[in-house]
Structure 1
Amino acid sequence: MKRSFEASHDDRPESSFKTAELGVTCREPPCMNVYLPIELYQCHIEQYHDNRCVECGKNLVTESFLRLHLEEMHNPFNSGNGVRYSCFEDQCDEKFCSHQERISHAVKCHQYPENFHFDIVQNGQPFN
């Protein structure tokens, strides 16, 4: 579920963020008192708070990466059963026996850049 500034103001505790002169202080983890201009608030929420794993708290940037993360990292039925890695692309049904095979497929078939953060499913996106 995507949030907007208006919606999030009504459904969050008052201490979750503080409106200041044309800006917001985000008090949600991992931010904890990060100040940003009000016009960047929506983008900030989408990038750092909308697709956060409830199991480990990692940020996955998109709903698709969050689904892959939950399946590969937290699904108890995958544990020890030779996890099968799915393609990063939702419309592609390819599965792989190794993370390296998935990377090769993404670069070769979907033109992912070689410097793409391929470990995002396991590690989440670093908070900047």
Structure 2
Amino acid sequence: MKRSRELQEELDSDSETAGTQPTIRPVFKVTQLDSAIDDELDSFAMRCNLPPHREALAFKTYDEYEVHYNKSHTNRCLECRKNFPSEHLLNVHIEECHDPLVTVKREKGEHTYSCFVEGCERKCMTHQKRRMHLIDKHMYPKNFFFAVTRDGIDGLSAPRESPRG
């Protein structure tokens, strides 16, 4: 690293007068950030650049980012990139849409459509029968988005909460 000329001149003049040991004086550099840029950086605690976002999303707090991350990125199908409201519904989606063994079972006439309610072991012959099971046994509303396991929730404006059952 090169020394600045000013520092070298000070060292030379000090060593001539002191004789034995040169005295080194610390040099400080003061920088100042543009306050507009600083304010802009402070207003967003976190940014999300993960797919499927085309541009980064900014969040003012870590809590806002965490809610977004859990909603948008934790239950995403690696094969078709669709997002699901829970791990259970992601697993039902993978089973119904991407598992070739389930396709063979369905062609043989086996019950392959799993209930949406975690812990309910019921499997139905068709998705229409599953819909009726969810309405009758678990009190799902008739206008619930039952195609969630096929389509995911990315295109929905506000995902509907499922009833507890």
Q: Quickly name the TM-score band, shorter chain normalised.
A: 0.7 to 0.9
More strand per residue: 1
Of 21, 34, 37, 2:43 maps to 21
> Mean alpha-carbon deviation: is it higher for 25-34 or for 104-113?
25-34
Q: Which residue does 1:117 correspond to in 2? A: 145
Q: Which residue does 2:19 correspond to in 1? A: none
Alignment of 1:1-128 (within 5 A): 21-32=43-54, 33-38=56-61, 39-82=63-106, 84-127=112-155, 128=157
Q: Which residue does 2:16 correspond to in 1? A: none
Q: CA deviation at 1:115?
A: 1.8
CA pair 113-88 structure 1, distance change in 2 beyond 3 A: same
Q: What is the identity, as a one-letter code, of the residue corresponding to 2:94? A: L
Q: What is the identity, as a one-letter code, of the residue corresponding to 1:72? A: E
Q: Is the 8 A contact 2:44 2:58 kept in 1?
A: no
TM-score (norm 2): 0.61
Structure with higher Rg: it is 2
Q: CA deviation at 1:80?
A: 4.3
Identity of matched residues, %: 34
Q: CA deviation at 1:43?
A: 0.7
Q: CA deviation at 1:31?
A: 1.9
Higher RCO (CA < 8 A, seq sep 6+): 1
Q: Is the 8 A contact 1:52 1:59 kept in 2?
A: yes
TM-score (norm 1): 0.77
Unaligned runs of 5+ in 1: 1-18
Give the number of equivalent residue pairs.
110
Q: Which residue does 1:10 correspond to in 2? A: none
Q: CA deviation at 1:125?
A: 0.5
